[in-house]
Structure 1
Amino acid sequence: MSNETVVLITGTNRGLGLGLAKLYLQQPNTRVILTARSNTTAVVDALPKSNAGVLHGIYKLDSASNVDAVALRESLTSSETGVSKIDIIIANAGIGEPFDSVLDAPIDALENFYRANTLGPVRLYQQLWKDLLEKSTNPKFILISSALGSVTYVDKSPCGGYGASKAAANYFVRKMHMENEKLTAVVLHPGWVKTDNGQAYADAVNVSEPPLTVEKSVDKIFEIVSAATKEGMSGNFIDIMTGSDILW
């Protein structure tokens, strides 16, 4: 296992997470750890039956849960089901709805956004850094965020809770980069993708459908993650389609 690249991807039951799972499992000398909020059996059924990489396991992880993050660490460090390191964490899990204005957004919905989208990635980092990610010679923490989390580009679209939670998550990942000299920490905007969440946002802004396929998005994500270095992309907010920085 020491010679393998070990990748952990969260939120793999559908959309970008499932697309990333399929792509990383195609890579040789790669061990892939997946998480899903529920119905891990459905994830297994959706994956190809033959892969160049190794599926280490699929674990339950609700990104809003403190308990699940601890249980994940315990499973991944156990002598029976554990791994010796993690090289790449792709924090993809999160929630996108409801799409509301600040005036109309229920406070409990805003709290849910923050628990899942902001604190979820922080929980992963806190639970998995010391025992696993730090053991890598080239540790990477990748946040799948959104341009809707850019404070510079705030507009009138009805995404106050979602955008604010992503903006806060972006801050935490940039802070990880500043605090941790060993870690490559990158925030990615995956494009406006044809996923359930992407379509829900399209419906909210009266657009027929998002422009980007899951396959195109995950291919670009893979390219950027593979190329990311501490000296290069770390600490940046990157548009995967252009490779350029997005203003915070």
Structure 2
Amino acid sequence: MVPKIVLITGGNRGIGRGFVELYLARPNHTIIVANRDPEHPTSKSLADLPKAEGTKLLVVKNDATVPTDAADMVRHLASLGIDHLDIVLANAGVCKLWCKVSEVTAEQIQDHVTPNIFGFIWLYQATLPLLKKASKPMWVTNGSSAAFLTVTDIIQNMTPMKNAAYAPTKLVLHWYTKAIHIEEPEITAFPIDPGWVQTDIGNRGADSFGMEKAAITVDQSVQGMIKVIDIATRETHSGKMWVWDGTESAW
């Protein structure tokens, strides 16, 4: 049986690591973790995670701020015999501050645009040929309710956030993912909001708003999201906005 090959960016911590743990527990998978420093202790520690029978882990370099890294990564994967990708989880991203539109600087916006938007585009363009070689390719974008424009129950239940640097980049990623769905009819592509998760970023955000911690655990988030991914098809999920609990959301 040909292993299912899953590429997860930013898989050494937070939500990405949660996905890595779940996929490694599935037999006959090849899990590729791409992050900016494969030698970092958080990257090295991935080797100690339990693996199901026939499942293996590869950790490769992809710095989302370096224009050539994604293409270099794909060439490296080819040298390791990786000839297709079944699923790409575009999870990596940064959120460095929470500020109002009246306060944010161009430099602060750019600090988020480069890794969150440009890094996304470089990753997609580099991996697209490998996705097209899979029988049922899937692209999943780590989205965010911080970028929702339509009022929903989710937004009404959340503390209003000053998010002028990070949220707009997520809105752009939602648009690009919808465009991927339209442009590539063989690919199942959709964004999914992981919720307000108890990661380093999520808890720093909670602290900045006087809250003890974010709303849900990493395990709750990734368990919910992987259920969505498992059942997703081009007909049922592609080109739509999803939430970690399995519900479809307005954009």
**Runs of 4+ deviating beyond 6 Å:** none
AA in 1 matched with 2:55: V
Query: What's 1:157 paired with?
Result: 161
Q: How does 1:192-211 map to 2 (within 5 A)?
A: 192-211=196-215
Kindly indicate whether the alpha-carbon contact (under 8 Å) linking 1:139 and 1:184 is maintained by their aligned counterparts in 2.
Answer: yes
For 1:70 and 1:133, how far apart are their aligned partners in 2? 14
Whether the 8 Å CA contact 2:63–2:69 is kept in 1: the answer is yes
- Is it true that 1:214 corresponds to 2:213 in the alignment? no
Aligned to 2:248: 245
Q: Measure the CA separation in 2 of the matches of 1:109 and 1:71.
A: 28
Could you say which residue in structure 2 is the equivalent of 1:48? 48
Counterpart secondary structure, 1:161: coil
Residue 46 of structure 1 deviates from its aligned partner by: 4.1
Alignment of 1:125-140 (within 5 A): 125-130=124-129, 132-140=130-138
Offset from partner CA, 1:13-46 (integer Å, 9 cap, x none): 2101111111111100111000112253422314
Q: Does 1:64 align with 2:68?
A: no
Equivalent in the alignment of 1:178: 182
Paired AA for residue 85 in structure 2: I
Q: Paired residue for 1:224?
A: 228
Q: Distance in 1 between matches of 2:179 and 2:122?
A: 14
Deviates further, 149-158 or 109-118 = 149-158
Tell me by how many angstroms 1:56 deviates.
Answer: 3.9
- Counterpart of 2:16, as a letter, is G
What is the deviation of 1:152? 2.2
Rate the CA distance shift 1:162–1:51 in 2: closer, same or farther, 3 A. Answer: same
Aligned partner (choices 128, 143, 146) of residue 145 of structure 1:
143
Using a 3 Å threshold, how does the CA distance of structure 1 residues 169 and 63 change in structure 2: closer, same or farther? same
Is 2:170 aligned against 1:169? no
Please give the alpha-carbon distance, in whole angstroms, between the structure 1 residues aligned to 2:30 and 2:73. Answer: 16
Post-superposition Cα deviations, 1:139-172, rounded to whole Å, max 9, x if no partner, equal 0000011100112248851111111000001100
TM-score by length of 1: 0.92
Q: 1:12–1:18: 8 Å Cα contact kept in structure 2?
A: yes
User: Which consecutive residues of structure 1, in runs of 5 or more, have no partner in the other structure?
Assistant: none
Counterpart amino acid of 2:183?
E
Give the CA RMSD over aligned residues: 1.7
Instruction: Indicate conservation of the 8 Å contact 2:12/2:33, yes or no.
Output: no
**CA contact under 8 A between 1:75 and 1:82: conserved in structure 2?**
no
1: CA distance between counterparts of 2:87 and 2:219?
A: 20
May I ask how many residue pairs the two structures share in their alignment? 243
Q: Name the TM-score, length of structure 2 as normaliser.
A: 0.91
Residues in 2 aligned to 1:56 and 1:95: alpha-carbon distance in whole angstroms: 24
Alignment check: 8 A CA contact 1:177 1:184 kept = yes
Q: Distance in 2 between matches of 1:151 and 1:120?
A: 23
Distance in 2 separating the partners of 1:112 and 1:170: 19
Amino acid aligned to 1:223: K
**In 1, Cα distance between equivalents of 2:50 and 2:247:** 35
1:22/1:47 contact within 8 Å kept? no
Whole-angstrom CA distance in 2 between matches of 1:171 and 1:119: 14
* Percent identical: 29
